[in-house]
Chain A
Amino acid sequence: MKLMSCDDVQSSLIDYIEFELPMSRRQQFNAHLTHCDQCQEMHDELQSVIVDAKSIEIREPGPQFWQELPNKVLAEVNRQERVKLEHVKHEHVKQEPFQSQHQGELDYATTLDSSIADSVKRAGSLPSENTGYADMSGDMRGDNILPFKALATTPAASGVVDCNDQSETQPVYQRLSSTKIRAKNRTTSASLMSESQCSEQQPSTEPFADKPYSRFTWPKKALPMAASLLVAIGGVLMVNQISVDKVNSVPFDNNAPMFYDSVAVQGEIAAGAAISNQALASLAQTMVPITHQSARFGFTSQNAILNSFSIGALFTETIVYIKSDDETLVKTHLALLGSAMHRQAGSKHLIQGIEALQTQHEIDPDVRANQLSQLMNHYAASLQSIADKEFFLFKLGAWSYDFALAALAKDASLYDKADDINAFKAQLQRLGAPAGVAKSLEEINARITKDVMTEGDYKRTIEEMENIRSLLG
């Protein structure tokens, strides 16, 4: 055994006392201490300081304090929330109508519209400028969908998106259902999954393939999970300011804007009431808490309500909710999208389209979902024409929601995503995204390229997606 010098021992004594040394080194320590009185004395001295420090008395309050503390905390939390609510209600009354508040932005959006139109025409993916959303018939369904899978591999700088490939021209939600069919068809020969896993993933007998726009059921099953996932991982809302507090991971500091009662706001949206921008902002803040990282790495501007990544996810999420017939959530999400479009200088055409969808709850969900898909494509094309970075983040946001749902449903389509992930990783590195994003994507890639994905793999995949969202959203 190699002998240690006194200097070596004394410089690592605390590590020794705290059991931070590997076993081989501990043995060397033991051997040295046995024969060196000086080091042994120093060891005893340091150890006694630590032991004695523990014995310092603490003056504790009486038992009554401990008994009362939980109730005091609860009462104070409730009181402060009531105060916030009262304040918010007071502010709410003072709010001007949203439209008049943002007239300037709307005007800007209108002027922007003409430049966007060129890009849209190039993409060839949208209805003509004269086509109103109310005019869209069922015949148009599926004709104008800009596929996110294609977006993921299309060079953003090219400005042209090929939409002729019908196999790729499915909306996100529809592609998910189709991939389930593909999974079903290949289960017998698939070496990728165990038999038990395959049987768990058998879709219902609903003939998705024959009726591409018929309702599929799995998002309904996944919805509660997806909703909780979205609460945890969702996008970003910039309200007034971001407090960057390194120690406290809570995104907002004590000076952050007051919260509205999110349930009450959703109820008002569902009832068709005019909602103030601040109430919507507060709602989004509650549903999709802001993260510091997004601002830190320049993915969220101070002027944005939601960043492009979050808007992408929100579009996809709204489409899923439309298909699941949850009108309150649909209206809430459309309101958030509308609000974001105003702030992000979305075209007037887009804003009107989203507002129209708010009132069209009686029409067929498939038609409505398709209309929103087209609006999403319109927005994607407009982003592509003006900001490469925003466009990329947008499609990544939409993709990530798609991916998270597939992971939640343990869908076999995950196995096909490796190319997407590599493309995203390269683009993110180009944009200067935090290293954690690339690491998470690598981890996801390692999981989904395994022959058989275990429960732990799915769980880890979702956790890594959460990390990506927390960094970019």
Chain B
Amino acid sequence: MRARMPRVPPPVVALLLSVLLFFVAGVLQPGFLNVDQAINIVRLAAFLGIIAAGQTLVIISGGEGIDLSVANVVTLGAILTFMVSGGASERLLPAVAVALAVGAVIGLVNGLGIVALSIPPLVMTLGMAGVVKGTILAVTQGDIPGGVPPLLAKLVTGRLLGLPGVLYLWLLLALLMWGLLERTGYGKRLFAVGVNRSTARLSGVNVPLTVVITYTLSGLLAALGGVLLLGFTQRVFLSLGDSYLFPSIAAVVVGGTVLAGGRGSYVGTMAGALVLTMAESLLRAMRIGEAYQMIVFGLILVALLAVYGRQRDSA
């Protein structure tokens, strides 16, 4: 086996990098270095991290797994919560239930298309992304009635011990993700399927079922991300989730989850989300203009990929 693992785990590197960037930003922009700013950045990272949770599972499952529909499912989740709750806190629970259920169904369709019809994940989720977007337009018709339940806003933005609620929710999600990946049969089977589908199959694992479950969960988690994002932005608009799509993939990869599958962790994705958000904030703090921000961001990403993203030699 020639897997050349870097000796320091990627999540740790990402974390250290984030801290480093934070201080660099502080040097470049005096006044940057304060607790509020740090919390702000972590809070922004939280949303990306939550949205990237499903993406993490999908990428771990291997088989060129990827979910390009997350952005639109995020938006849909937010919109459904907005509409079903109508702004009433009492209706928050049913609203969230509806959002999650719809997200799960979308994920299920993705999974079935990939497993039963052998449609490459890239193509299937890309197609579904369009369908979701179209559904949003058709259902809302540009005019989205509803409201943000105060309870939701409080949960997300309200502070406990000085930290915004979403951070606690993120931590809770992290715990659940850890539990899912490390303490359930599904999690163990997921890693197996991602590493070596042949071995998994020859050890009695139901590979297609595992894959379908994974994409279903991805849809559900994306919808959850949308719900929480709603609590933060407190308004809905059609491109709500768009800017989270590719960063969600980048966060997973930077966090050490190999695109080939079979290795990774949600902690890694969290660190990846952190470092990406930090890089973006740093670039903004440097006031170098959007153009140079993008260039540097692209270069950083390529560099990180060159270190962590090497493919196993397929041919």
Q: Report whether chain A binds chain B.
A: no
Query: B-contacting residues of A (Cβ < 8 Å)?
Result: none
